[in-house]
Amino acid sequence: MEGMAGAVGQDWITLALGHAAPEDEERGTSTTYSSLKASIRANKGLINPIIVSPQANGRYLVIEGNTRVAIFRALAEEEAPGDWATIPAIVKSELEEKGEHAIRLQAHLVGPRPWRPYAKAKYLYDLYVNQHLSITEILDFCGGTGRRAEIQQYIDAFKDMKEAYVPLAVAAGSPPDYSLFSSFAELQNIKPALARAGVTLQDFAKWVHESKLSPQQTVRQLPRILANPEAKRVFLVHNAREALKVLDQPSSNAIIASSSLEQLATALSVKIRQLNWSELQSLRQERESSSTQALLGCYDELKALADVLGAQVNV
């Protein structure tokens, strides 16, 4: 049985569910390779069959379910209890290539088993650049037009990472860390601001490689950091976390400075609830504004705190 052809081969499959990469914040709530393997081992089989297409050479091309195939092979090698020689499958005969793409995208881009961000971007980039599909065609596979900006961002971010970061990591003698993809996804939102500050894509890739932008959500704070001479100096010497300490000095407003965390959180919640439609649209359209960046930075800190407290945060 064959995996996805071309740029998305067997070595790429486990990356989609995180088995080949270290733990990181990108994993989110998507099913991991290890947890899926444990579930299949416990159930001694599959609940959802894979989807395959018969080929002229008598073999079958796996359209959806490559990870489950890889797990069956691994369990067979481990001689785990159960029958791993065959796998339940739905055979889609006379399926055109575009139909294959539609199945994969519906299952893993907008469906119940999302791939990791880098894996999504790699697949979308392959469709757009190597197979010459238009964004509109890709959107048709996904079932709507609401994801145009997201798909374009994935493709652009993959291109930037591939061109600037990967060669840098390889030249340094270390394997590329694909969990850093989120940094390049965030980059797409602040590119104009960085260009005005004289920052090149190579500069940004170097900062990512040197771990100056960790955690990755600090990327969106770069315009603020670079606009402040002292914060910029601290960033270049240390990292974004240290630079943000320069910007986050105690407020000169005595009421704010003396307020408790509870009071500030309550006040912010009330203020957000009172936003009208025009204010929301302004924040959405002016992503580089200090107000929008301050709110996004606040969200990052709140999410990190919620994670520590064990709260469920829907992103």
Render 72-119 in DSSP notation, one character per residue: HHHHHHTT-SS--SS--EEE-TT--HHHHHHHHHHHHTSSSSPPPHHH
Per-residue pLDDT at 6: 39
Give the Cα separation of 142 and 120 in Å (integer): 12
- The radius of gyration computed from the CA coordinates of the chain, to the nearest angstrom, equals 23
Give the Cα separation of 286 and 293 in Å (integer): 9
Q: What is the pLDDT of residues 167-222, one digit of tens each?
A: 999 999 989 999 999 999 999 989 999 999 999 999 999 999 999 998 888 898 89
Q: Is 102 in contact with 118 (CB distance < 8 Å)?
A: no
Q: What kind and span of H or E run contains 16?
A: helix 10-16
Q: What is the mean pLDDT of the chain?
A: 77
Give the Cα separation of 245 and 249 in Å (integer): 7
3-state secondary structure of 263: helix
Q: Is 227 in contact with 197 (CB distance < 8 Å)?
A: yes
154 class by beta-carbon count within 10 Å (0-12 exposed, 13-18 middle, 19+ buried): buried
pLDDT of 100 higher than 70: no
Q: What is the pLDDT of residues 67-86, one digit of tens each?
A: 788 888 889 888 888 889 88
